[in-house]
């Protein structure tokens, strides 16, 4: 166990190195790092159980720096524990350095589990880690360091509510209450009683402490470790602590010190040190995962809603012990309840708190879980920042959005996701899938389980007839040509619900002597550019049909594929939703939007006239 002198010396080194690295970079957040230096010194010296040589080991405690702008502190810690050297520390924020402006997990930065810096995300992620540990019986804890400004974020309180409800007593939050935000005082400043009362009201065990008294911090951490519920250490600190011209002074947020200022500050902090610390080793090892068992996918011959096929496939995939579902209190609509029935210990109810749901998913996948978060497609929009940040974290997530488009019918436009495909296509490295029947859904959900990055499957509320036989393959990036001839004059491109409308339109056009090719682009990103270019070349006219806004969806994906070489060959017409819908029957709304079989056929007739 460290002594008061040792803890204070290490805190001084962390403060000095935070200044040295940010001054070398000419940018960064040194004052936000100084406020948490004592908290970090005690935590990493005596409480965090962590094998620096095996940072991905499942037995480790986890540390999440939710206040990611304090990255100089994080990298100074990594230097102190021997993960990086001084030369690398001073490469902070330089082009090509893994020590980026806010922490990012990279191959040569394995000690960082998730990207942070978009505030309010660390605690939901930490909760997901804590729940994953409990699922596997891992006797580890998750420590999450938050800034006081980000406690205004609703996602923090979503996580607070869920954590106490789930009894996550292996989760410890630390709030660095340094009073000052970016432009001035925070909402509560140093009103620690209010912080404590709010935490208590949310079912947490609050502990108020002087954040620069290392002995008191040690005692607080011991108390938090012994709590029978989630604990939160509320630490009163000073921004820029230890430096006379920085401490509790406004106007220094996000500003690196000049070389002269840095020298003065470092002198006040007692000068540079070269201390090293070895965190405590984890309590127990964790057995390696078993080989993946065989999974028997459901097969369909009758009509079924693809959302139901998703749920039944998820239940089948639960034979793999790492598969987990998280739902936003709509499990009887997304059908994640099918997994809940067969593997209740791997179903997490996220309630109507989609930001926390996505954060938990990011945390769980860090510990090897294959996570499927599901809700209505429209509700992912309010958690989009978490999805964007998950991509920066190099996270593997499998999102399922049901009840999409005008096809949901009478519920009206507030429930109609009409921008979800555009939104998900814009995520770096994402995969976007939209199956039209039960068998294609089963195959694609199974494929998602092993896809890297962020994948998204859009499912349909209505039952749709079987188009494909059981066992047919659906490679990601592929498509299916459902109807074609040598005399085709138009290619109708659909996905999901509009595949059926395109087939109906092709039948109607055939009665007029017009041959139409029908292409099912079940994989919207990546899309089958080769099949599209062939169809465009052979038919001369491509018509895309989608139950989505005209911007950013299937039509734009097709246009991009056809113009991949900078030259758009053939003629492309997009049919999509262009006006604000209202309530109505699904068939009525598709006809109103111009994406019903009859409306498609009418548009094609006018185009070929």
Instruction: Tell me: cis bond preceding 526? Omega within 30 of 0 counts.
Output: yes
Distance CA 482, CA 306 (A): 19
> Can you give the C-alpha Rg of the chain in angstroms?
27
Separation CA 326–CA 337 (nearest Å): 10
Report the C-alpha gap between 501 and 436 in whole angstroms: 11
Beta carbons of 342 and 320 less than 8 angstroms apart: no
Please check whether residue 175 is in contact with residue 232, taking contact to mean a CB–CB distance below 8 angstroms: yes
Catalytically annotated residue among 238, 322, 354, 501: 354
Give the Cα separation of 233 and 210 in Å (integer). Answer: 10
* Angstrom distance (rounded) from CA 217 to CA 236: 11
| Segments of 378-440 assigned E as strands | 397-402, 431-433
Q: DSSP letters of 229-264? A: S-EEEEEE--TTTT-TTTTT-TT-TT-PPPHHHHHH
Spatial contact of 237 and 211, defined as CB atoms under 8 Å apart: yes
Contact 144, 154 (CB under 8 A): no
- Going by C-alpha positions, the residue among 595, 301, 303 that lies closest to residue 464 is 303
| Beta-carbon count within 10 A of 591 CB | 17
**Cβ–Cβ < 8 Å for 91, 99:** yes
Q: 255-269: string of b/e by CB count within 10 Å (b at 16+)?
A: ebbeeebbeebbebb
Task: Tell me the sheet residues that pair with 174.
Answer: 145, 233
Helix 259-268 and helix 4-25: axis angle, to 10°?
180
- Do β-strands 480-483 and 516-520 pair in parallel, antiparallel, or remain unpaired? antiparallel
**266 three-class SS:** helix
- Region label for 137, one of left (φ > 0), alpha (ψ between -120 and 50) or beta (otherwise): left
Looking at the DSSP bridge assignments, the partners of residue 490 are: 516
Lay out the sheet containing 490-494: strands in order across: 480-483, 516-520, 490-494, 541-549, 571-577
- Residue 260 falls in the annotated catalytic set: no
Tell me the catalytic residues. Answer: 354
């Amino acid at each position: 166990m460290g002594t008061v002198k040792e803890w204070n010396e290490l805190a001084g080194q962390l403060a000095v190195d935070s200044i040295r690295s940010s001054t070398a970079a000419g940018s960064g957040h040194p004052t936000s790092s100084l406020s948490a230096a004592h908290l970090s010194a005690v935590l990493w010296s005596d409480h965090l159980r962590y094998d620096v040589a095996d940072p991905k080991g499942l037995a480790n405690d986890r540390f999440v720096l939710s206040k990611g702008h304090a990255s100089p502190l994080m990298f100074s810690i990594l230097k102190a524990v021997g993960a990086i050297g001084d030369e690398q520390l001073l490469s902070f924020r330089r082009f090509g350095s893994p020590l980026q402006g806010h922490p990012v997990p990279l191959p040569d930065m394995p000690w960082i589990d998730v990207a942070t810096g978009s505030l309010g995300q660390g605690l939901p992620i930490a909760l997901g880690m804590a729940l994953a540990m409990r699922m596997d019986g891992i006797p580890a804890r998750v420590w999450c360091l938050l800034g006081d400004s980000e406690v205004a974020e609703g996602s923090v309180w979503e996580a607070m509510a869920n954590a106490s409800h789930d009894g996550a007593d292996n989760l410890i939050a630390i709030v660095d209450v340094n009073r000052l935000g970016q432009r001035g005082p925070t909402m509560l400043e140093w009103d620690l009683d209010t912080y404590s009362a709010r935490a208590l009201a949310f079912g947490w065990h609050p502990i108020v402490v002087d954040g620069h008294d290392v002995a008191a911090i040690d005692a607080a951490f011991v108390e938090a470790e012994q709590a029978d519920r989630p604990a939160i250490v509320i630490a009163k600190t000073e921004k820029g602590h230890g430096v006379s011209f920085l401490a509790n002074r406004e106007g220094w947020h996000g500003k690196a010190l000049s070389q002269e200022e840095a020298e003065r500050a470092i002198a006040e902090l007692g000068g540079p040190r070269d201390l090293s610390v070895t965190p405590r080793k984890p309590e127990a090892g964790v057995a390696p995962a078993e080989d993946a068992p065989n999974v028997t996918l459901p097969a369909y011959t009758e009509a079924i809603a693809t959302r139901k096929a998703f749920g039944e496939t998820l239940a089948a995939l639960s034979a793999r012990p790492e598969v987990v579902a998280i739902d936003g209190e709509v499990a009887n609509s997304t059908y994640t309840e099918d997994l809940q029935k067969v593997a209740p210990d791997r179903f997490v109810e996220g309630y109507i708190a989609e930001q926390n749901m996505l954060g938990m998913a990011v945390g769980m996948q860090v510990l090897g879980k294959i996570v499927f978060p599901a809700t209505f497609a429209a509700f992912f929009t309010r958690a989009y920042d978490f999805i964007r940040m998950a991509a920066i974290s190099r996270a593997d997530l499998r999102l399922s959005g049901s009840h999409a488009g005008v096809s949901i019918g009478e519920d009206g436009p507030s429930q109609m996701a009409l921008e979800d495909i555009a939104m998900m296509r814009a995520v770096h490295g994402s995969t976007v899938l939209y199956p039209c029947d039960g068998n294609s859904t089963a195959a694609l959900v199974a494929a998602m389980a092993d896809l890297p990055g962020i994948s998204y499957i859009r499912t349909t509320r209505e039952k749709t007839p079987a188009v494909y036989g059981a066992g047919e393959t659906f490679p990601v990036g592929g498509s299916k040509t459902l109807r074609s001839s040598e005399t085709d004059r138009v290619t109708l491109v659909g996905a999901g619900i509009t595949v059926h409308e395109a087939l109906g339109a092709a039948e109607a056009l055939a009665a007029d002597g017009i041959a139409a090719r029908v292409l099912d682009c079940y994989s919207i990103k990546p899309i089958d550019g080769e099949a599209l270019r062939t169809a465009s070349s052979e038919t001369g006219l491509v018509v895309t049909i989608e139950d989505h806004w005209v911007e950013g969806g299937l039509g734009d994906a097709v246009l991009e594929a056809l113009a991949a070489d900078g030259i758009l060959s053939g003629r492309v017409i997009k049919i999509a939703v262009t006006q604000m819908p209202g309530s109505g029957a699904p068939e009525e709304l598709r006809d109103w939007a111009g994406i019903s079989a009859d409306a498609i056929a009418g548009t094609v007739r006018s185009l070929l006239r």
